[in-house]
Each structure stands twice: as structure tokens, then as C-alpha cells.
Amino acid sequence: MTMDDELKKIKERKAKELMRIAQLRQEGMETLKKAEEAPKSVTEEDKLNVMNYFLTSEAYEYWKVLYDTQNKKETAETIFINVLYLVKVGYMEGRQISRLGIKKLERKIDNIPSTLTIKRKGEKNSIQKEL
């Protein structure tokens, strides 16, 4: 075998390896795209049932108000996707999210900083704190 033949074989092996990696990457991208589209294909009734099951009654009512409000609907959808993720990773087993948890998610999604209000004998000071 000559050096040229060996070099050709090495190049062919490398090309096959690169093609295999490209194919795996393409399959991964398709899987990711399907996973991102999955929550969009859920019916509204199923969404409400899932949220009712994994949220406390107070939290569900709060989320429902967000979901029904036109300018907060996208935030409610993002909260739904986060709850689905928590279910998928097994965090929600035997647990429910409280109203406070939903409010925290909403504030984080909408980038609203935390505020502390201190009242002292008639005066009111408001302090913003980012967590």
C-alpha cells in the first residue's frame, strides 16, 4: 500500500465520521424542534386540566386570570411550559405549586424586580432589590 492509498482511506474515514456527526446533529435538532412544538399542540382543555392538577386552587385561579388576560397570556403560556418541564424532570411528583410560586415565575418571566416597602410612623419608603 502506498502513502497515497493510506491517505485516501484516512480521508474517507474522516469524511464518514463527519457525515455521521452531521446526521446525529440534524436528528437532535429535529427532536428539539418537536419538543418545542409539543406544548403548542396541547388543547386548551388539556392545558387547564394539567394546571388544575399541579397547582393549588389559589394558584390555579391566579394562573387562570393571567391566562385570560390578553397582555399576560404569553406569560401564562411560559408558566405552563415551565410546569410541564418540572413534570418531565420528575420534580412535581406528589407536589403542587402554590400561588406564591406562580407569582415568582411571573415576576421572573416579566423581569420585574422585587420591592420592599418599609413603613415608619407615617412615612413610606420603597426599596427595589434584585434577587
> Do both 35 and 51 map to the same domain?
no
> Do both 83 and 104 map to the same domain?
yes
Q: Which domain holds residue 2?
A: 1-41
Residue 126 has phi, psi (to 5 degrees) of -115, 130
Whether the per-residue pLDDT at 26 is higher than 90: the answer is: no
> Do both 105 and 93 map to the same domain?
yes
Lowest mean pLDDT among 2-11, 55-64, 120-129: 120-129
Q: What does DSSP assign to residue 43? A: -
pTM for the whole thing? 0.59
Provide the number of structural domains found in the chain.
Answer: 2
In the block, cell 406528589 appears at: 94
> Do both 21 and 78 map to the same domain?
no
> Do both 77 and 14 map to the same domain?
no
The share of the chain scoring above pLDDT 90, in percent, equals 16
Whether the per-residue pLDDT at 94 is higher than 70: the answer is: yes
> Do both 2 and 53 map to the same domain?
no
Whether the per-residue pLDDT at 90 is higher than 60: the answer is: yes
